[in-house]
Structure 1
Amino acid sequence: MTREEFNAFCSGLQATNHVVQWGNADVWKVGGKVFAICGWNDGKDAFTFKATDLAFEVLRDEPGIRPAPYLASRGMKWLQVYETCGMNDSLLRDHIVTSYDLVVAKLTKKMRAELQV
């Protein structure tokens, strides 16, 4: 997946917004909370997302995937796909949607109603 494809995919999810932060990283949020990031890998595209507990345990040691720098070191279950061998585009999109869903689930009921998510 390219950065452009990543941004196009994330923009298609409901009630999202995009900001550029942290050294030119594309950061995608829903309800003001981050669910996906592209950047942070020595100038190469790397894709970071929140993971379920099970996905984090299963995928964190796979080739091309690692616990997300900074986020995972603080005990959060975030993964980063930093090499193309890490996972195919379809599976990456599935994990981005799961990340989005995990973040939406943590929003207040009022916020979810306002965003219609």
Structure 2
Amino acid sequence: MDRAGIGRVCLALPATTLAHSFGEDHDVYKVGGKMFAIVGGEGALSFKVSDIAYEVLTEAGYAAPAPYMARAKWVQVADPASWDEGELADHLKTAHALIAAKLTKKARAELGLG
């Protein structure tokens, strides 16, 4: 999946916004003001995963621990075009859900996330 495809998947998720917090060449996708995925200037994709997915993806070599964010269970995929698009879209949906679940009940209600 290319940068535009990642953008289409992320922006189709509820209450998602696009920011350029780290410069114009970095696409930062947020829900409720919290990041759930980042496409860097070189095209690498970083996103939030569950504890189990972090272990599986990093140990199997599908992804690397994301720089600066690995402690929060983020992974980085150097070439997102090499991944199956459906699988990558599922990971992005999960990343969105993981971050949305950490928002306050009030924030989720205001965003229409239940």
**Contact 2:2–2:81 under 8 Å retained in 1:** no
- Runs of at least 5 residues in structure 2 that lack an aligned partner in the other structure: none
Residue in 1 aligned with 2:14? 14
C-alpha contact (below 8 Å) 1:64/1:84 kept by paired residues: no
CA distance in 2, matches of 1:59, 1:65: 5
Out of 84, 87, 94, the position equivalent to 2:83 is 87
Question: In structure 1, how many angstroms separate the alpha carbons of the residues matched to 2:80 and 2:105?
Answer: 37
Give the CA RMSD over aligned residues.
1.6
Amino acid of the structure 1 residue aligned with 2:8:
A
Residue of structure 2 in register with 1:69 after alignment: 67
Higher relative CO (Cα under 8 Å, sequence separation at least 6) belongs to 2
Q: Which runs of 5+ in 1 are unaligned?
A: none
Give the fraction of aligned pairs with identical amino acids, expressed as a percent.
45
Give aligned pairs, total. 112
Aligned partner of 1:37 in structure 2 is: 38
Contact preservation (8 Å) 2:26, 2:39: yes
- Name whichever structure is richer in helix by fraction: 2
CA–CA separation in structure 2 for the residues paired with 1:85 and 1:12: 19
Structure 2 length as normaliser, TM-score?
A: 0.90
AA paired with 1:25?
A: H
TM-score (norm 1): 0.88
- C-alpha separation between the residues in 2 aligned to 1:18 and 1:114? 18
DSSP 3-state at the match of 1:116: coil
Aligned match of 2:26: 25
SS at match of 1:21: coil
Q: Pick from 98, 104, 107 the counterpart of residue 108 of structure 1.
A: 104
Task: Output the CA distance in 2 between the equivalents of 1:109 and 1:9.
Answer: 25
Provide runs of 4+ in structure 1 moved above 4 Å. Answer: none
